[in-house]
Amino acid sequence: AATNTWSRISAEGNLPAARAAHAAACVDHSQMVVYGGATGGGSLSSDDLYLLDIRTEERWQWMSVPVLGTSPGRRYGHTMIFNKPLLIVFGGNNGQQAENDIWVLDVERSPFQWSEVSVMHTRVPLPRVYHSAEVCREGPAAGMMVVFGGRTAENKSLKDTWGLRQHRDGRWDWVEAPAKRGPPPEPRFQHSCVFLDSKLLI
């Protein structure tokens, strides 16, 4: 990074198969985690969780992470974010239909295990694929995973914004963001988003 030059990394270990439309998240600035995706020809990647250990710059290492129990299953076009200590997977397509389910994995609890989140009886986002998601770290929405846009099972592009939060008692709920001022971004999918302080940039 100091030289402002891209370089191709040669990593060792158990490499994941080539894929597209997967999701990745950075855990504690030392590991990149990859889940799902499509391998081409209509096939989906396995539901294995892969980790790239980047703590030693001279020797980056891939490994397949053992996870117990039921997984989110094979899917593509989903998102995965890290909100310490949880990896959170949302949405995507399982090869048959778009989803709006939520799965979490606590990286501080061993052995690792995926859990599907039950949301309180509130309005929820439509099932979607190719949306964007990021964690807000500052401001009134701090700690929430914010989701924007995507595409429905009927191939309709979306422009809605949702926040997923976990309460102190462990309950989860969705909140749809109201449009307070100005027009929202045009409907879109296969885009990206990032938070700059408390502002979400699409």
For the beta sheet containing 79-83, the strands, ordered from the edge strand earlier in sequence to the opposite edge, are 79-83, 86-93, 98-106, 114-116
As a whole number, mean pLDDT of residues 21-29 equals 95
pLDDT tens-digit readout, 101-125: 999 999 999 999 999 999 987 899 9
As a whole number, mean pLDDT of residues 22-38 equals 96
Structural domains of the chain sorted by starting position, each given as residue range(s) with its CATH number in brackets: 19-201 (2.120.10.80)
Q: Distance (Å, rounded) from C-alpha 134 to C-alpha 31? A: 17
Q: Is the pTM of this model over 0.85?
A: yes
172 close to 166: Cβ distance less than 8 angstroms: yes
pLDDT at 19 over 80: yes
